Structures are given as structure tokens and as C-alpha cells.
Amino acid sequence: MITGGMMARAVEPGHGEAGHGAGHGAHGEGHGACLNCGANVDGHYCANCGQAAHVHRSFAAIGHDLAHGVLHFEGKIWTTLPELALRPGKLTRRYIQGERAKFVSPFALFLFSAFLMYAIFSLTSHHGPTDAVQGVKMDKGAQAELRREQAKADAHIREIEAKLKAPGLSAARKEALTENLTDAQAERKGLTLAGDLTDSLVGEGVNGGIAKTVGKAVSAAAENPEFAYYKLKANAYKFSWSLILISLPFLWLLFPFSRRFKMYDHAIYVTYSIAFMSLLFSLSMLLTAVHVTSGLVTLVLLLFAAWHMYRQFKDAYALSRTGTLVRLPLLYGFACVSLSLFFTFLVMMG
């Protein structure tokens, strides 16, 4: 959470922030030269570089600055969150049109929400590296068992071939042994294919190589869901930004060749939307952790998520109700496809 907050604060623009130094009484207002750029200061902030006139030099200020950077974003977070939850489309449109000083930038909020979700997921999840390692060990055990079965099949084939070479076999006996040999060889081919697949999956899991195809990633997840789960958990926050890039082409398809909306508009919309869904998912995990989740609560959260997508989509692009409803099924479908591609990408990157 601290990492996400500090990263978000690093990309958050520093303009339009008020109240940070005003709470220090007479010490908040300064006169003379700015300690940062040397310009004359008359007020709480330097008009040239924006640095506060009053500079903290106490140990307690470190904790204050840390909490301020993580939780407040200079107070703009408390202006942004209500708008994002209840009027997301208007927030998106206002930000795109230039009303930005009072709101947290979408990418800063996205970073914070991604790290927050990962932190809560790690705290509330009972899966982890131990489960993944155990899963790999189970795969190795299965691999050893498969090797034993292959050795037995080879011995059985050699035994049948030796019997076929024995002199004085009747036609019926020879025919029966030939059928047995055919069945044994077919079984051995099946064990060979299973062995090759197991080697591939275990090798990818242990060595951390990138899967070459989506089919291999899906097969690996089906073979060892615990390890796939761990890879999703470990990679989700590191590659969360890729979900924005994956979603942009699909959103463009809803307004092909439109001159009203540019790719920047789509990027702001997608980033705010993903940030909110991450926060909503974090809330769901917290409710699950404290055992207040029920079928009704889950239904309410899902309906609210669906309503939020409708409301943001309609207001952000200034669409009519008919225009929104026509595109909405495609929007939901594209969201599912984007998530599927994202999760596949995470497994492949494991």
C-alpha cells in the first residue's frame, strides 16, 4: 500500500494543491527567498516553483509526509472518490476537458488501487509460494510415477515381442499376441504424450520460462491450478498496466473513426474505470475476510459494477440512453474478453 501510494504520488501533478501549509498557522506563511529556487516568496507557496514556504525539519514530519503522500494526495482523493463512485462519467469528462487540479489523476489513482488490491489480496488469501512449490513437487512426483508406468509398458512390449519370436506358435496364438502388442504400443504412445506434456508444464513452472502459446498456458493452469493461481497473484500488480493497453483497441471499436473521441479520451475512461473496479474488488475481499459476504451482498456489488459501467460510459461520451444501451452489451463483452486476455497474459508471463 505504501509503495502504491508513493508511486501514485510521484506521478500526481503538483499543481492546484491547497491547504497543505495553511494548517501551520503563522509558520505556514513565509516571506523572503524560496529555499528551493531562490525566488521571492509572499504567501504560503513559492509562485515560481510551488514549494511550501514552511519546510518541516522534525522527525514527526517524516510520518506526516508519508501518511500524506499515501492517503491524501493533497486532499484531492476525497474529492475524487465520491465523484468516481457516484458520477464517474462526469468525472471522466471533466478531467478530459481540463478540470484537473481538484482531482487525482487517473493513472495515479490506478497505481494506488492496484497496489491496494494486491496488498489486501495478499493479506486475505491463503495461497502463496508454499502452495506453489508444493504444487511443483506434486508435479515432479506425478512425473516420476509416469516414468515408472512407461518403464512397465516398455517391459510389457518386450515380453510380447519375445513371445512372438518363440517357435511353433499357432496362428490363433500369434494373432492374439499381435493384438496385445498393438494395444501395448498404443498405450505406450499415450504415456509418451503425457510425459512430454508433463515435462513441458513442470519445466515452465520451475524455470519461469514464458509459455510460447496460449494453449500451453491454459494446459498448465488446468494441470496445476495452485501454481497458476500463484503466478496470477505474483504478476497481477506488476503487469496491471497492460490491462489498459489491452482494453483500448476494444473501446476504440465502439466509436470507430470518430472525430469526437480520441485515444486519449479512451485512455482516461479505461484508467478511471479499472481503478474503480479495483477498489470495488478490494472492498469485496475485505467483506469476505470479515465474513459479512453473502449472496445478496455479492449480487449488490455486481449490480453496482454493471450500473457504474453504464453510468460512466453514458456520461463520459455524452451519449443518449439509446446510444448507450446499443453499445452496452458490446462494452460488457469487450470487458470480459480484455480480462481473459489479461489473465492469460499473466499465466504466460509466469
Q: Which residue did the predictor score with more confidence, 343 or 231?
A: 343
Q: Count the Cβ atoms, other than its own, within 10 Å of residue 263.
A: 11
Alpha-carbon separation of residue 196 from 23, 134, 190, 335 (angstroms) = 68, 21, 10, 35
* Kind and range of the H or E run holding 46: none
Query: For the residues 109-118, what does the mean pLDDT come to?
Result: 85
Question: What pLDDT score does 209 carry?
Answer: 42
Question: To 5 degrees, how large is the angle CA 56–CA 38–CA 54?
Answer: 20
- Residue range 60-104, pLDDT digits in tens: 666 666 556 555 555 688 889 999 999 999 999 999 998 888 888
Q: Where are the alpha helices (DSSP H) in the chain?
A: 2-11, 60-67, 76-86, 88-96, 106-124, 129-164, 171-207, 214-223, 225-236, 241-253, 263-289, 295-316, 321-348
Question: What pLDDT score does 318 carry?
Answer: 93
- One DSSP character per residue, 138-166 reads HHHHHHHHHHHHHHHHHHHHHHHHHHHTS
Q: Are the beta carbons of 322 and 203 closer than 8 angstroms?
A: no
The Cα–Cα gap between 200 and 154 comes to: 22
Q: What is the pTM of this model?
A: 0.59
Give exposure, 14-32, as e/b (b: 16+ Cβ within 10 Å). eeebeebbeeeeeebbbee
> What's 284-350 look like in SS3?
HHHHHHCCCCCHHHHHHHHHHHHHHHHHHHHHHCCCCHHHHHHHHHHHHHHHHHHHHHHHHHHHHCC
Question: To 5 degrees, how large is the angle CA 178–CA 181–CA 184?
Answer: 155
User: Among 136-145, 249-258, 333-342, which is the least confidently predicted range?
Assistant: 136-145
pLDDT higher than threshold 70 for residue 255 = yes
Nearest to 270 by CA among 285, 256, 250: 250
pLDDT higher than threshold 60 for residue 263 = yes
Nearest to 195 by CA among 159, 147, 239, 227: 147
pLDDT higher than threshold 60 for residue 339 = yes
Query: For the residues 145-155, what does the mean pLDDT come to?
Result: 81
The Cα–Cα gap between 238 and 8 comes to: 14
Q: Are the beta carbons of 218 and 195 closer than 8 angstroms?
A: no
- Residue range 195-237, pLDDT digits in tens: 655 555 455 444 444 334 445 555 555 555 555 556 666 666 6
What pairs with residue 43 in β-bridges? 30
Q: Would you kindly state where each structural domain of the chain is located, as residue ranges?
A: 133-211
Q: Count the Cβ atoms, other than its own, within 10 Å of residue 264.
A: 9
pLDDT higher than threshold 50 for residue 21 = no
Is 37 strand, coil or helix?
coil
User: Among 11-20, 163-172, 262-271, which is the least confidently predicted range?
Assistant: 11-20
Query: For the residues 41-48, what does the mean pLDDT come to?
Result: 83
What pairs with residue 41 in β-bridges? 32
Nearest to 269 by CA among 317, 236, 206, 203: 317
Query: For the residues 287-314, what does the mean pLDDT come to?
Result: 87
Confidence of residue 122 (pLDDT cuts 50, 70, 90): confident
Confidence of residue 242 (pLDDT cuts 50, 70, 90): confident
Is 101 strand, coil or helix?
coil
Considering the chain, what percentage of its residues have pLDDT values greater than 70? 65
- Residue range 89-99, pLDDT digits in tens: 999 999 999 88
The Cα–Cα gap between 175 and 1 comes to: 72
pLDDT higher than threshold 80 for residue 29 = no
Q: Count the Cβ atoms, other than its own, within 10 Å of residue 346.
A: 22
